[in-house]
Amino acid sequence: MSHNFLSLLFIVGLMLVAVPPITYLERKVLGHMQQRPGPMVVGPHGILQPLADAIKLIFKEDIIPKGADRLLFMIAPSFSVFAALLAASVVPIGFINAVPMKSALLFVMAMSAISIYALFLAGYSSNDKYSFLAGMRAAAQVLGYELPMGFALMGVVILFGSFDFREIVRWQELHGWGILYQPLAFLIFLIMMVAEVGRPPFDLPEGESELVGGFHTEYSGMRFAAFFFGEYINIIVLSLVVSLLFFGGWSGPFVDKFPVLGVIYQLLKAGFFVFLTFWLRATFPRYRFDQMLKIMWKVFLPLSILNLFIAALEAYVVG
């Protein structure tokens, strides 16, 4: 009981503490990829920038526009943070497993399904055309990515024979990393993960490069920040999931003797995928609405179903 509680505290704390440095890193990485220094003013190399951002966001006035649906407008950001933190609670990091659950992978999927309501309701309740359209784009994006993502995960689950992350890692310790068996599922899941957290090239709900932002146009202060807290926590959680499903999670040399090494391995593996989302953001332009739906439904959905057959064959041969 107390071990679980400490783990929960650790994971929630980690998620909340990790977000500000990640925003700093993102801006630095983006900056250097675009041959500019990134934040440089606050502190040496701008290292205190997240702190300055936090202070700014906390002291900003919380504006609720006239004609907005007050209740929905106020609760919309909480969907984002709550769902992301709940998803984080079932994901094990090394020996730290806050809520051991048989169907943990599915639980992560369910919470990601819930988190989309944040964007959708924000768009609807703002009483603003730009927000509204962005909310529609968010809903359409869910309808796009959810099926390929589900099918890609089904392939993995058929191979591993379990929804439980501990079982999945144990399987990989015996047979080798999941990516060796399911490269197609890995690729599809990675792309769908980017679509799910709404990062470029699939940042349709947000539309950051446009003159008017997306669903969060009318938000300010901490409510605005809550969306991005949720988004970054989601990135971390899904990166952890990728590391667990395809890269052996906490497995690695000397983990038997020093369990702490497992935590470090896993965080490094997941960290690479967090970095990858920055990289994609610096590299790709955004897909148009219809292009996004077209590739989701006409390319990735058939591929992910094909992958299901491959997985079944592999499970038959290996298991």
Question: What is the binding site for other proteins (CB under 8 A)?
Answer: 69, 71-72, 101-103, 106-107, 109-114, 116-117, 120-121, 124, 132, 135-136, 139-140, 142-143, 146, 163
Q: What residues pair up with 93 in beta bridges, in sequence order?
A: 96
Least Å distance, CB 283 to other proteins, is: 30
Least Å distance, CB 3 to other proteins, is: 20
Q: How many residues does the chain have?
A: 319
Least Å distance, CB 136 to other proteins, is: 6
Nearer to other proteins by C-beta: 114 or 282? 114
- 124 by Cβ neighbours in 10 Å (0-12 / 13-18 / 19+) ranks as buried
Nearer to other proteins by C-beta: 79 or 224? 79
Least Å distance, CB 267 to other proteins, is: 26
Nearer to other proteins by C-beta: 120 or 273? 120
Nearer to other proteins by C-beta: 55 or 71? 71
Q: Which residues contact 173 (CB under 8 A, 6 or more apart)?
A: 248, 251
Nearer to other proteins by C-beta: 142 or 240? 142
Q: What residues pair up with 96 in beta bridges, in sequence order?
A: 93
How many other C-beta atoms lie within 10 A of the C-beta of residue 92? Answer: 26
Q: How far is CA 51 from CA 22, 85, 226, in A?
A: 12, 22, 15
3-state SS record for 26-56: HHHHHHHHCCCCCCCCCCHHHCCHHHHHHHH
Nearer to other proteins by C-beta: 4 or 42? 4
Least Å distance, CB 73 to other proteins, is: 12
Q: Are 108 and 91 in contact (CB under 8 A)?
A: yes
At 85, the amino acid letter reads L
N-term to C-term CA, the chain: 35
Least Å distance, CB 51 to other proteins, is: 35
